[in-house]
Structure 1
Amino acid sequence: MIDNADAGKRMGPDGSSSGTRRPIVVIGAGIVGVSTAIWLQRDGHDVILIDRGEPGSATSYGNGGVLASASVVPVTVPGLLARAPRMLFDPDQPLFLNWSYLPRLLPWLRRYLAHCTPEAVNRIADALLPIVGDSLADHQALSAGTGAERWVRPSDYVYIYRDRAHYEGDAFGWGIRRARGIAWDEIEGAALLDYDPALSASLGFAARFPNHGTITDPGRYVQDLATHVVASGGRLVKGEVTDIVRENGRVTGVRAGGETIACAAAVLATGVWSKRLCATLGLDVPLESERGYHVELWEPSVTPRNPMMIASGKFVMTPMDGRLRLAGIVEFGGLDAPASRAPFDLLMKNVTAALPGLTFRNRTEWMGHRPAPADSIPVIGEVPGARGAYLGFGHHHVGLTGGPKTGRILAQLVSGRTPNIDLAPYAPSRFQ
């Protein structure tokens, strides 16, 4: 941590002394944005955090709440192209499509499905591991002393299968994890029911990852982190950023709410909504909304002891503060269409099968937008030809998991330091 006296002697990213330096603007107050803001402040920078909504109220609010360090296998595994059409017409499968959106989706979809090869999956896994592989420690370091640490809970993360044969059907994905040093325990039969008696007896096999974590209220967690940014001298602005201003190839400000806010650098971390501002910086990012759903069951009669991925339904059950959150589903339908009814119904059908006898006081529902680049690799780094413009988005299913590490990397880049990670896989230049 840098104290105020030391911070006053620093040079800003624009080469000015701290007495005259302009602040760093972070666009987007989700987990990536607030993480970036906190690490920038710890590095001595003045920060302005801008969002059109409240902090943590969009995608960061609705995720599964799991710090899923083992989640390095993308959706685009070999065989997806053959299975997807059948899944779309099976109401019990966790893949949905708004058919009226298909013509707009096709250019992105072609590029996305081109990555359904072993070589591409290995490349993606290699890129994801450094961002998510130490997530619990990353969140603990980020939240320490902020007041938000109360929402971070160490836990197991458990993949649940019907039986060993069902588990072995996912051998490709497990091999990807094993090759990267990810370890797990196998729990089978009666031992699984001893581990968690809440589970249905029809579920007979589990792969248990230790040393993972849970955020017990993701929305409140990000709000508390943003509150800490303000308490530490940051400024929170509510508004829509319409442009990133540059002079002689360097960022000098951002336009928001009809005014120009001067800055030394700007970090764009608005998830799936980043595409439009990227275009103003000369980048055509193939980015789509992978719409995700959650149902929350308040005051449930039973809860799993740790977050669990039910493999047959590809959904997560996460015990949270006062409720059980069911999250998952992949739906392609763009940013504007309303939520579909079928994904909510499928989540309820699946949890009823997994937790027999489950009752609850009431339930709430949510649909949001995961930012999905066609190559399934986050976009992290400085924009070529736009000095002081930095990007941090595109984490698909693992935005909460990888947000703190991404924010720390971005803060290091803004401060002129070289992160201890090869940034080539995440480079914005791949979309020029």
Structure 2
Amino acid sequence: MLFDRILSRLIRRGTLTVRYPDGRILEYRGTDGPGPSAGFELRDWRTVRRLCSNPTLAFGEGYMDGGIVPMGCSLYDMTDLMVLNMMEGGGHPAEKVMEWVRWGRRHLDQLNPASRARRNVAHHYDLNGRLYALFLDRDRQYSCAYFPTGEETLEEAQLLKKRHIAAKLHFDRPDLEVLDIGCGWGGMALHLAREHGARVTGITLSTEQLDVARGRAAEAGLSDRVRFELMDYRDWKRPVDRIVSVGMFEHVGIDHYKTFFRTVKGALKEDGVALIHAIGRSDGPGSTNAWITKYIFPGGYSPALSEVLPAVEKSGLWATDIEVLRLHYAHTLAHWRRRFAANRDAIQSLYDERFCRMFEFYLVGSELAFRRMGHMNWQIQLTRKVDTLPLSRDYMLDAERKAVACPREDA
């Protein structure tokens, strides 16, 4: 049986137990060292055949449709064992072929004119608003939190993330004008207005996020300092003092990086500062997982810094600070995964069982991407001029310490 031979080659560490549709139970033991144990049941031969021909897509779809069921373990344990062995070099012949296909298609898949960008955003961000309230923090920060020790609560870590980014934006005077590209539900924009006296315009392509953000600004009494618009970043024409973009760059598309950074440069005043925060990969250029592309983020891609920095250089901007956040998103996703599980019944009432399985697989796979597969977050600080900012990073640390000592926003 082909799938049996594939698993015999794939499992190099740990032990995988598989129950096949005919009732046979086979065990695959790795010989390259210790590892975790897990198992799953394959409930139909169609799932087995699909795992042989398109494993990355079929594994996620198999779990969603009930053709793959964890056996004696959790979804996380099952997926972790498979990911560990894929990364150890066992590989899957068909997956290697599909990786080449995805690589060849990636420029086409990430072609992202404004009309397509809006459709891609709507696919994930225009879901029922209650969904995100059931597993995110109170501020609905849908991006990597900041865990200095790893012991912070989700609310604490998301507040620290906002402070960390604000410190890099260098609010050295009140009333600075800020452009928030990809503003989500408005949390960062409201924070900058409340904590730093900034005047902020947040832009998004999600109608759901736009409505929530506008309502939050009004409720907070900040509508005179914060406004939100349904707008593509390429349509922004007016220079501002600061630009922030958190978790949006993954949706820009590799053929549009030059346009993005040219737009940032054009939108910054001469003494302006920008901070871009995004997911990246540590092992160089790649392609997006087929299941993620189909079900979660069509057109999305997490780039290596080697793909980003050439576009920064060509734009004429200064990269004045670069930070890599390694396991911070893994901690964030673990919090989201636990909150999703705690509220699963409520989420199922909004959608259905298949949707819950899809989202569970997304959260587990994403967490493992940061724990096992070389994903990370990067933050790049940008200026137009070489002398815009102080000579050392001390001002960032001072700003964060001041925010902790004199908090104005509850964690």
- TM-score band (shorter)? under 0.3
TM norm structure 2: 0.27
Which one has more relative contact order, counting CA pairs under 8 Å at least 6 apart?
1
More helix by share: 2
